[in-house]
């Protein structure tokens, strides 16, 4: 119960800080949410301003339930280079026989962005897992990922295409490749007033393991230029039999003086 209380309190404090900061923030600055999609946009957050994302996620598959609390800190030194630090303060995995909870792995990402033409941008991400999870809720060795991104704005729509390759640090098992290929393609558009909607298709391929295919639907609400709330649902197919159903919500806030 104590962990759940701390988990809820953390979200409440961040939410209060976001709303309080939004009232005094510079209205010319705009938050740039990466969540809740699998892929991310090529663009960086506003340079020299901290941007924070926090959410709650719940996933069910084949008799197990996983709850996580993804936290992402984003900082751009300029319009071309930035860093992100991902953490997972709370993770809980339940099965019919057992329940384990603690904190999950982290991640550190170097992000590069290059505008190509009006409305079109390319990006690259070099990421490493931070194997800091306890109670065997993560990896024991770091995974390395390179991700290539193409983002485009056209006719009121925004699209992001991500293609990535991951090399796992842990042994994946007999006959299973140490490399995994992933991809995602998403599109979003304003719906009404401050609400926007998005759809994303993503998947993974790894020799010797089941491939995955996921459809994610999301809604975003621009409380202000600096604060954006989101909610999503996703349906994932794992191999030919297993299904994973997940949902979650969160907030992105740009801290501006």
Which tens digit of pLDDT belongs to each residue from 53-79? 999 999 998 789 999 999 999 999 999
Extended strands (E) in 155-211: 157-167, 179-192, 195-205
Between CA 184 and CA 192 the distance in angstroms is 26
Q: How does pLDDT run across 163-184, given as a tens digit for each residue?
A: 999 999 999 999 999 999 999 9
The span from the first CA to the last CA of the chain, in angstroms, equals 37
**pLDDT value at position 17?**
53
Q: Give the tens place of pLDDT for each residue, 124-133.
A: 999 999 999 9
pLDDT surpasses 90 at 92: yes
For the chain, what is the domain count?
1
Assigned token pair, 130 = 């931070």
Torsion angles phi and psi, residue 221, rounded to 5: -125, 115
Residue 75 confidence (pLDDT):
98
Pairing of the two strands 51-61 and 99-102? unpaired
Q: How confident is the model at residue 2 (pLDDT cuts 50, 70, 90)?
A: very low
Q: What is the pLDDT of residue 10?
A: 54
Model confidence over 93-113: pLDDT tens digits?
999 889 999 999 999 999 999
Which position has the higher pLDDT, 157 or 16? 157
Q: What is the pLDDT of residue 239?
A: 87
Write out the residue range of the structural domain in which residue 57 sits.
Answer: 2-254
State how far the Cα of 158 lies from the Cα of 6, in Å rounded to an integer: 36
- CATH of residue 174's domain is 2.40.160.40
- Residue percentage of the chain with pLDDT more than 90: 83
Range with the poorest average pLDDT among 88-92, 171-175, 237-241: 237-241
Mean per-residue pLDDT, 5-12: 49
Kindly report whether the global pTM for this prediction surpasses the value 0.75: yes
Burial (0-12, 13-18, 19+ Cβ within 10 Å), 2: exposed
Instruction: Please state, rounded to an integer, the average pLDDT across all residues of the chain.
Output: 91
Q: Is 13 helix (H, G, I), strand (E, B) or coil?
A: helix
Residue 5's pLDDT band (cuts 50, 70, 90): very low
């Amino acid at each position: 119960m104590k962990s759940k209380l701390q988990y809820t309190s953390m979200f409440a404090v961040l939410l209060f800080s976001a709303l309080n900061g939004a009232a005094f923030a510079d209205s010319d600055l705009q938050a740039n949410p990466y969540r809740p999609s699998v892929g991310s946009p090529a663009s960086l957050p506003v340079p020299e301003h901290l941007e924070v994302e926090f959410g709650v996620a719940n996933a069910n598959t084949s008799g197990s339930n996983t709850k996580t609390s993804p936290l992402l800190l984003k900082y751009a030194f300029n319009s071309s280079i930035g860093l992100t630090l991902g953490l997972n303060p709370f993770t809980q995995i339940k099965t019919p026989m057992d329940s384990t909870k603690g904190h999950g792995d982290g991640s550190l990402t170097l992000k590069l962005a290059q505008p190509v033409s009006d409305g079109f941008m390319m990006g690259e991400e070099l990421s490493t897992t931070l194997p800091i999870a306890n109670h065997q809720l993560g990896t024991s060795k770091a995974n390395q990922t390179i991700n290539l991104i193409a983002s485009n704005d056209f006719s009121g729509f925004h699209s992001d295409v991500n293609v990535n390759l991951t090399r796992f640090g842990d042994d994946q098992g007999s006959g299973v490749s140490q490399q995994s290929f992933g991809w995602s393609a998403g599109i979003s558009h304003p719906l009404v007033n401050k609400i926007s909607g998005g759809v994303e298709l993503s998947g993974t391929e790894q020799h010797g393991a089941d491939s995955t295919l996921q459809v994610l639907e999301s809604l975003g609400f621009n409380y202000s230029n600096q604060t954006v709330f989101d909610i999503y649902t996703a349906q994932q197919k794992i191999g030919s039999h297993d299904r994973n159903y997940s949902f979650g919500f969160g907030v992105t806030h740009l801290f501006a003086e």
